[in-house]
Amino acid sequence: MKAFYTKSIFILILLCLAVSSCTDDFEEINTNPNQPEKISNPGLLLPGIIRSVADRTYNGAWNRGNIVADYGADQFVSAFDWSPADAQGYFLWDHYSRLRDVIGMYDLAVEKDLKNYQGIGLVIKAFLFQAMTDIYGDIPYSEAIKAKTGNINFPKYDTQEEIYNGILADLTEANNLLSTSNEAVSGDILFNGDVMKWKKFANSLTLRCLLRISDRKDPSAQMAQIVSNPALYPIFTGFEEQAALQYLNQLGNEFPRYRGNGFGESASQTMVDILKDLNDTRLFVFAQPTFASAGGANPEYVGVPNGISDESTFNGGTEHQSLPGLLWAPTNASPDFASPTAVQTLLMTYGELQLILAEAAERGFISGDPEAYYRAGIQSQFDYYASRIPANYTFPKATNVQPDAAYFTQDAVAYTGTKEEKLNKIWLQKWIALYNCGFEGWSEWRRTNVPTITPGPNSLGFVPVRMLYPLSEQNTNRENYDAAVAVQGPDNTQTHVWWDAN
């Protein structure tokens, strides 16, 4: 019996030693060397960030921005005011999830002293915050994305003026960081690692932001600083350099609507009629002939009024209405002509930049020839869309998109008239140029009131000027939500944001 107990104790001791050894090696054994716990290269994060930002920007443009800016026809009020459905207010609030990745990439770049990645992170951060504040107005900014680093789970809302100050500061820092170090940039699916193009994007975006707030703050000094020193503050010099994501043929890398379920809306009457009145060949890009007239000797383009209760009955039915252009066709709507690569997501274009400079020069913010900027901004649009037409299209061909000389000499386009008339021409051309470019067309309409947008007879009688905060903010961040509403005004679609002085 004594021998039995001695043997049992010995076995128990061996088991304890074995368990102890296993425990000591547990972390090493259960660590996958092929899946590191911490990403060490910010280039691994960059492709997913860019794709997510672009896809959301594109979908936002199609599903909301095109409608509320009156490029596409639908119930544009309901697109922004499906209260209390949280999904609507949340539509671009989820940029905060993208900002978490952006800030994570930026912090990693700071840790590794990678200045180009820091600059890229700041440009994307500025782009996202500008998109959100223009839609909602006052939003969490200075305390946002600090749940982990600052233990802030309920961030305060900053005023739009404070947010724009922060955006402009970030873009200035981005310009100062980019191209000051030698590290190559990998994972850049937007500019293919060309750091100078990121620098141009930073300064071009700065000019957009400065003009956006120009009715509240004089932008002259900062605008002139950029325009007068292209060596230090380079900007886009052609549409080939603009911030446009090129999609690929591979499954999952096509433009987001390629495998979608039809167009979902018609071309708007406002857009179609304006382009027809101007004899503007972008009509062939932005809209299709009616089904009833397609293929005939005299194809007709008929847009649908925005905000009518039953679009299907307008002008004799859908056979006599124009859909959006073929470039945006999903496969099930046009299997012969749908392209996975012809359309790009446009974050900011050279055409927009030139029209920004035209207005800035006309208003005396910068020196330069406003007509030259104006003409360049318009022509670059025709050049860009001509370059995007696939070779297999029967119509339009690239040659159909280019205007004749008479386009620029007609009264409605020629750079003549009073200062007010010239500005109205710039604003109209900019609205056209911003087709399907996020919510920028809507923001410019709010800022300029050009073109005239008339709510349909069965709408609520107004065009929204901001989007509702998501319902989740009222439920989880109520104190800060209430404080923001007290400063900005009621949380509805008729409260103007700070820069919208109309």
| pLDDT band per the 50, 70, 90 thresholds, residue 74 | confident
pLDDT of residue 94: 87
Residue 328 in contact with residue 182, Cβ under 8 Å?
no
| pLDDT band per the 50, 70, 90 thresholds, residue 9 | very low
288: left (phi over 0), alpha (psi -120 to 50) or beta: beta
Please give the distance of CA 157 from its chain centroid, rounded to a whole number.
22
| pLDDT band per the 50, 70, 90 thresholds, residue 38 | low
Phi, psi torsion values for 469, nearest 5 degrees: -65, 150
**Is omega for the bond preceding 330 within 30 degrees of 0, making it cis?**
no
| pLDDT band per the 50, 70, 90 thresholds, residue 7 | very low
Average pLDDT across the chain, whole number: 89
List, for residues 437-462, the tens digit of each pLDDT value. Answer: 879 999 999 999 999 998 766 666 78
- Both tokens of 333, joined, read 């709507």
Q: What integer is the mean pLDDT of 246-269? A: 88
pLDDT of residue 149: 86
List, for residues 381-437, the tens digit of each pLDDT value. Answer: 999 999 999 999 999 999 999 999 999 999 999 999 999 999 999 999 999 999 988
Q: What integer is the mean pLDDT of 15-37? A: 42
List, for residues 112-165, the tens digit of each pLDDT value. Answer: 999 999 999 999 999 999 999 999 999 999 999 998 888 999 999 999 999 999
List, for residues 478-487, the tens digit of each pLDDT value. Answer: 999 999 999 9
Residues 18, 216: Cα–Cα separation, whole Å: 73
pLDDT of residue 20: 44
Q: What share of the chain is helix, strand, coil (3-state, %, to 5)?
A: 50, 5, 45
* Polymer length of the chain: 502
pLDDT of residue 73: 86
Residue 345 in contact with residue 311, Cβ under 8 Å?
no
Q: What integer is the mean pLDDT of 85-90? A: 48
Q: What integer is the mean pLDDT of 288-314? A: 90
Residue spans of alpha helices (H) in 299-347 = none
